[in-house]
């Protein structure tokens, strides 16, 4: 596992984020933080509909705008998270709090 993490840290992605300066990580963090609630927040309406709220509204009508928004939030959070992790994977491997 450590060999994979070392490879990821030395990859072009890890080197690109590290060489982009301090602002790269500063931009990736809010992007990741906004991607996660976009993913889960967009699914709130269909979840509430399944729990019995807004029973007159068809589930398909609620899912139409929320599924693309959830997919965008997932992509945003995943890509920004991968960029953030690739910067110092070997340091993160020894941290028990991550």
User: Per the confidence metrics, is the pTM higher than 0.85?
Assistant: no
Range of the structural domain that residue 41 is part of = 2-93
* Residue at 64 is within a domain: yes
Query: Helices 59-85 and 22-42 sit at what angle, rounded to 10 degrees?
Result: 160
* Residue at 38 is within a domain: yes
* Residue at 98 is within a domain: no
Q: How far apart are the first and last CA of the chain?
A: 15
Q: What are the pLDDT tens digits along the chain (98 aa)?
A: 888 888 988 999 999 998 998 888 889 999 999 999 999 999 888 888 889 888 888 888 888 889 999 999 999 999 999 999 898 888 888 777 76
**Domains identified in the chain, total number:** 1
* Residue at 88 is within a domain: yes
């Amino acid at each position: 596992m450590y060999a994979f993490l070392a490879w990821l840290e030395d990859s072009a992605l890890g080197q690109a984020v590290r060489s982009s300066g301090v602002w790269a990580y500063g931009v990736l963090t809010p992007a990741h933080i906004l991607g996660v609630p976009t993913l889960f927040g967009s699914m709130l309406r269909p979840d509430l509909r399944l729990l019995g709220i807004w029973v007159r509204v068809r589930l398909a009508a609620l899912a139409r705008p929320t599924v693309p928004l959830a997919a965008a939030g997932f992509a945003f959070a995943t890509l920004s998270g991968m960029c953030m992790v690739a910067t110092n994977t070997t340091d993160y491997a020894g941290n028990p709090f991550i």
